[in-house]
Amino acid sequence: MIPAPARLGQKTAKTLYIVFLIFRQSAGNQRFFSLAKLVRRRPVFSVFVSLSAERPTLSHPNHASRFAALWILLVSLLPVTPVLAALPASVDGTPLPTLAPMLRKATPAVVNIAAIGHVEIRQNPLMLDPFFRHFFAVPEQPTRRQTQSLGSGVIVDATKGYILTNNHVIEQADKISVKLRDGRAFDAKLLGTDKASDIALIQIPAENLSALPLADSETLQVGDFVVAIGNPFGLGQTVTSGIVSALGRTNLGIEGYEDFIQTDASINPGNSGGALVNLRGELVGINTAILAPGGGNVGIGFAIPINMADSIMQQLVEHGEVRRGALGITAQDLTPDLARAIGIDRTQGTVIARIQPASPAARGGLKVGDVILEIDGKPVRNSGEVRNRVGLLRVGTRINMTIWRDGRTLERSLTIEPNRLEKLAGKDLHYQLAGATFSALPEDLRQQQDAGILVDSVVPESPAWRASLRKDDIVLSANRRPLHTLEDFRQAVKGQRKLLLNVQRGDGAMFILLQ
């Protein structure tokens, strides 16, 4: 039996085969096989070309007219099949996989956010002197400029209108506008922010909202498929997909508390605050940052796990802020060299480098050099995990800690207490620092840098304000003396008329001369 392509009927196949045999005899073997080389890649011809080479030839006159007629007949018998660029809706009756049904439910819960605010324009101190401006006829200059940022947010409570986003999206905003997928727009109310984790909670007075269900981000695994939804570059709602590339990313220097989900789903500027969802349409993370050496997406994005974001949200709802407790320790990662030096046979954990006097750690029996192995039965891999777990616990929570000390494994129980930081008024340090309040670095910042004094607050138009000090600045040194404690600051400025302060602000640093 002669095989034929599946798309041709049996009669058509037989007819084509006979035509090929006649064509071969008419044209001659050499001419036939020359033409066969041109059409062998065509699936319709391939069966007949191979078969005709094996069957006996027929005796027919070699007439050019018959050659042409047979060729036309052969081409006319070929079925015409349109070529489609798109995939079929189904294969063998089975629908192709698609994310469309899930996204139809998830995308209405992701909103676009526009925040409008103002920032101070840093000026030369001489320009702040009214006599100088009058004497030199210096015109009035603006002291503030308007800023605008675009980002995304996720509706997590449709009844109350709660929306989670990033703190950096709405930071210093005077007005926050929210636009829904259905085109409705609302002015949002800021309920609270947490700069250390980069989470903010806003609320809109809207009805008929759609909220995303929250997943358990602890169950995520590397390789799970995820989808990022946001508003990149202000283009409008956009969906990208990828997988979970890594979990528990810390020590990136992005936030004070880091436990990021890493994904290769494309995240770009404007996606901040948007949703990272699983294939069930459940919220697993809040998109926050990207690693972009060249300024664009390179497939390395980071999201805050929803378990962390939800814990922070509960405190923002209750108090408008996150009231973190502290243990009173400074810890560092356990490296292989450090492990050999102290005699422990493991490479994961964290070593206690310093303990504050009269702190929960001191009262709980911890000592410098102890290695923290577990907290509440969960292994500790690095110092970032200790900071995250303790920083997310409410004040008064009791924890059980497993430590290693001199070859023995010990259990200790400690209670999280309020982070009581000593504060010092600037006027008690130096008259040119009046209006500012200083404090020691909180525990989350001490994990990132060893030296510095935090500017806790600054009264506008005060001497410290006019000297360009701002809230959350970190004074690294005074008169070239590094500062670790408030007493260091007091001794560095005591009896000095001039002050030279080395100040860190965000990712930058500068010197401020007061005289």
Specify the length of the chain in residues: 515
Closest by Cα among 474, 444, 427, 202 to 313: 202
Is the separation of the CB atoms in 125 and 466 below 8 Å? yes
Tokens (6 digits) for 313 = 């949200």
Tokens (6 digits) for 424 = 């010092």
AA identity, residue 254: I
Strand locations in 19-172 (E): 90-91, 94-95, 110-120, 144-157, 162-165
Instruction: Assess whether 472 carries a catalytic annotation.
Output: no
Catalytic residue among 168, 245, 359, 477: 168
What is the C-alpha separation between 453 and 128, in angstroms, rounded? 26
DSSP calls for 222-286: TT-EEEEEE-GGGS--EEEEEEEEEEEE--SSSSSS--EEEE-S---TT-TT-EEE-TTS-EEEE
What 3-state DSSP class applies to 429? coil
The contacts of residue 199 (CB under 8 Å, 6+ apart) are 164, 165, 166, 167, 193, 286, 304, 309, 312, 313, 316
β-strand partners of 149: 115
Instruction: Assess whether 198 carries a catalytic annotation.
Output: yes
AA identity, residue 71: W
Tokens (6 digits) for 219 = 């169950």
DSSP calls for 457-472: EE-TTSHHHHTT--TT
Instruction: Assess whether 484 carries a catalytic annotation.
Output: no
Catalytic residue among 26, 52, 197, 198: 198
Residue 508: count other Cβ atoms within 10 Å of its Cβ: 7
3-state helix, strand, coil in the chain (%, to 5): 25, 30, 40
Is the separation of the CB atoms in 300 and 349 below 8 Å? no
Strand locations in 85-188 (E): 90-91, 94-95, 110-120, 144-157, 162-165, 173-179, 185-187
The contacts of residue 494 (CB under 8 Å, 6+ apart) are none
What is the C-alpha separation between 273 and 198, in angstroms, rounded? 9
Residue reference for tokens 């062998």: 40
Catalytic positions are 168, 198, 272
